[in-house]
Every structure is written in structure tokens, then in C-alpha cells.
Amino acid sequence: MTRTPLIAGNWKMFKTGPEAVDTATQLAAACADVRDKEIMIAPTYVCLPLVATAIANTSLHLGAQNLHFEKQGAFTGEISADMLAAAGVEYVIIGHSERRQYFFETDDMVNRKIQAAVAGRLKPILCIGETQAQREAGNTFLTLDKQVADGVKGVDSKLLQDLVIAYEPVWAIGTGETAGPDQVETVHSYLRTMLDTQISSDLAQTVRILYGGSVKPDNIANLMRIQDVDGVLVGGASLDAGTFTELVKYD
């Protein structure tokens, strides 16, 4: 089974509309010749329609950083799956550790968001990862098991054929500290086996498992070489079109 590598940029709360359009346009031009990888950018909500227009007819894919699980209603400040899809969004990042940490998202909310995403035909990127304290307590796998199992609970595995899982150890996000190749390999192969035995063996073959956490041009090649790493989810190094292009064109 060949899985197309996904190089994804999470722009977090950076860039105004014009800035996002400018970076996206430069990135699309620089990566126009890339055929063997999928490239995704996730700007802020307000930038989505602008960036969708800027990257139409290019090889770039568009993602959102979050969504609300209800279809519509009196939920001030929230955005639904249908609204994202109508804005040209294809992927949606769900359960990022910053959402869990600063906005108190629980596994139950993450699950409802996954359900809303698949119902709205968006491709969910389920973010999981242990904190430093969980790792030190020897609870890395317990934490990841629960985040995956609760995240996809009750969702028919046939609806999850576009699921992407992003393993982002919380202690490696924005810290300059990357998990070592052995740690990444152990976790990714554990996740693939867990999907195989506990969810669906078909799904285990199709799901792309991304690594995230201080991915930079100088470490991406070593990460992408790891057997069960199917791509990366990048924060800081995805903000500059030139650096992002180096990530896409690593060798």
C-alpha cells in the first residue's frame, strides 16, 4: 500500500489575509512541479476563502485549524463543517494540543468534531500526543491509545478512509526539541499496529500518520525516512514560503 506523503503547514494564529495570500501564492509557484507529495496549508478562518481563491488550480490543498461539531445554531464565534466546505476547505485539523490545552477541548469534543468532519466530507487530521509529564510517568502509549480510541469512537471505519493522524508530542511543539528517530519510529509503528488490531486493518493501511513538533529543513529528511512516517505537520517552519518549500523538497 502506497500512501502519498502529506506535508502540512499549520499557520496557527499568524498572518493577515494579504500575508496569507502572498505566502500561499509563492508556495504554490515554488511547488508547482511537486507530484509525489500532497501539500496542505491551514491558515486562520478569515483567510480561508482568500487563500482558496489564490490556490485554486494549483497543487496546494486547503485545511482549517478547527471546526465546531454542530451544523449551525446559536454558538457565537464558531464555524461548522458545512461552512468550511463551502469556503473551499478539504482538510480540518482536530484536537490540536493547543486546542486541548488552552481551550479545554476534551476527547469527547474531539470525537464530536471528527463525526462532524466526516459528515461534512472534510478530511480530519486527528492530533494526538503526550505531554512531558505523561511521557516521564511512562504513560505515553496509554495516552495515545485513549486519544485515538476516543477520537474515532462510534465512527464507522468506512467513513474514516481519509483520516490522517498527527502524532505531535506536546513537549516537542515550538520548543526546538524534536523526538528522536527511535522515539518517532516506536510510536508510529505502535499506532499502525493499534489501528490494525483495534479499529480496522484496512484503515491501518490507508491512514497517514504524520509527525509534528519542531520539524525543520535540517531534520525532515531523517523523519521522513522512518518507516511509518507518512508526512509532517509543521508550525513555525511552514510560515515562510521559502522554508516551507525546502521542507517539501527535502532530500
12-51 residues in contact with ligand 13P (CB under 6 A) are none
**Site track 90-109 with ligand 13P (rule: CB under 6 A), x = hit:** ------x-------------
234 part of the interface to ligand 13P, by CB under 6 A: yes
- Cα separation, 127 vs 45, whole angstroms: 19
Q: Is 168 a catalytic residue?
A: yes
Task: Indicate which single residue of 191, 235, 244, 248 sits in contact with ligand 13P (rule: CB under 6 A).
Answer: 235
In eight-state DSSP terms, residue 250 is -
**Contacting ligand 13P within 209-228 (CB under 6 A):** 212-215
CB of 120 or CB of 129, closer to ligand 13P: 129
Q: State the virtual CA torsion across 101, 71, 199, 158 in degrees, nearest 10.
A: -150
The helix (run of H) or strand (run of E) holding residue 232 is strand 231-234
105 among known catalytic residues:
no
Q: Considering only 32-40, 134-142, 194-202, 235-243, which stretch makes contact with ligand 13P by CB under 6 A?
A: 235-243
| Interatomic CA distance for residues 58 and 44, integer angstroms | 20
Distance CA 102, CA 165 (A): 21
> Which of the stretches 115-123, 144-152, 194-202, 232-240 binds ligand 13P when contact is defined by CB under 6 A?
232-240
Distance separating alpha carbons of residues 192 and 203, to the nearest angstrom? 9
Which positions are catalytic? 96, 168
